[in-house]
């Protein structure tokens, strides 16, 4: 066979063994939707949007919850006994708190109620900050507890406690700030409104009577000696949820089902104040 023919045959075989070139993806025209935007799906429709939950009734509000005392305060007397400026007077940084005769500590009750309350408020759309995130620490001191709300200009703040009153006494009360010159002038009135709102809803939901051993004005005890109130720049009250030294109150405070109802009452009162 002549050499030139053989060369042509071999070249033909080599060409037939190659795959046809793939078109470059960069050569493909971009697909756009009806608005002229890039259409990644390629079918002329927009990407479906993720469904969003409707805003809750407390959307846009911020609430600070201060569970009083802390679980390890008793291990650090040098820390909690340090004297600090509590807004016109010197007070201990913090204290240990009360307990029931069966050993249910106030710091534990305060934290249990605080987490129940936090969950309820967050479910309604509020942003909630706790002054402590567990029950194993020391403090924080009074200025830090008040500062947690002041620093973010919270819409409301509440400090949760249970009293260590006389065993014969029963009931709850709200502590509201007195007017302390240079400190509480701007929060006295809104704090009173907050306290009355929480008082009414808590009394009903928790089925707890107003204290019969603290002299109050319809369940509101006005005080000028609490750093947590004196140092606050936002509406704030204390809830003394019951008397841990009274057997009947202690049984309620120790009951998880009762605490759910109690937290619902506090949440309702805060919501009514904010709305």
* pLDDT tens-digit readout, 44-96: 555 666 667 778 999 999 999 999 999 999 999 999 999 999 999 999 999 99
Q: How far apart are CA 228 and CA 275, in angstroms?
A: 24
Residue 14: per-residue pLDDT: 46
Token pair belonging to 123: 């479910």
Token pair belonging to 4: 């030139």
Active site residues: 240
Residue 9: per-residue pLDDT: 41
Q: What is the mean pLDDT of the chain?
A: 88
Residue 147: per-residue pLDDT: 98
Q: For residue range 112-149, what is the model confidence (pLDDT) as tens digits?
A: 999 999 999 999 999 999 999 999 999 999 999 999 99
118: Cβ–Cβ under 8 A, 6 or more apart, which residues? 65, 128, 130
Residue 119: per-residue pLDDT: 98
The helix/strand/coil state of 259 is: helix
Q: How far apart are CA 37 and CA 39, in angstroms?
A: 6
Q: How far apart are CA 198 and CA 200, in angstroms?
A: 6
Token pair belonging to 201: 């809803």
Q: How far apart are CA 174 and CA 167, in angstroms?
A: 19
Q: How far apart are CA 275 and CA 121, in angstroms?
A: 13
Q: Is the pTM of this model over 0.75?
A: yes
Residue 40: per-residue pLDDT: 54
Domains of the chain, first to last: 62-274 (3.40.630.40)
Query: How many other CB atoms are found less than 10 A from the CB of residue 207?
Result: 12
């Amino acid at each position: 066979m002549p050499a030139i023919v053989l060369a042509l045959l071999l070249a033909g075989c080599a060409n037939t063994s190659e795959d046809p070139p793939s078109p470059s993806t960069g050569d493909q025209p971009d697909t756009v939707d009806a608005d002229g935007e890039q259409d990644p799906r390629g079918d002329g429709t927009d990407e479906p949007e993720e469904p969003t939950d409707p805003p809750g009734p407390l959307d846009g509000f911020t609430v600070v919850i201060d569970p009083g005392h802390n679980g390890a305060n008793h291990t650090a007397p040098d820390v909690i006994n340090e004297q600090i400026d509590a807004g016109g007077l010197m007070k201990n940084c913090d204290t240990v708190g009360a307990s029931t005769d069966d050993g249910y500590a106030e710091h534990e009750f305060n934290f249990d109620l605080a987490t129940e309350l936090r969950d309820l408020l967050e479910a309604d759309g509020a942003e909630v900050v706790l002054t402590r995130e567990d029950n194993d620490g020391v403090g924080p001191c009074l200025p830090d507890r008040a500062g947690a709300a002041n620093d973010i200009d919270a819409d409301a703040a509440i400090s949760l406690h249970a009293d260590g009153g006389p065993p014969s006494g029963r009931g709850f009360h709200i502590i509201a700030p007195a007017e302390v010159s240079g400190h509480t002038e701007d929060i006295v009135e809104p704090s009173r409104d907050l306290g009355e709102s929480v008082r009414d809803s808590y009394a009903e939901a928790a089925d707890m009577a107003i204290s019969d051993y603290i002299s109050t004005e319809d369940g509101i005890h006005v005080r000028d000696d609490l750093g947590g109130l004196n140092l606050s720049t936002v509406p704030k009250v204390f809830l003394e949820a019951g008397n841990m030294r009274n057997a009947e109150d202690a049984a309620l405070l120790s009951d998880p089902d009762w605490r759910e109802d109690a937290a619902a009452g506090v949440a309702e009162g805060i919501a009514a104040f904010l709305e």
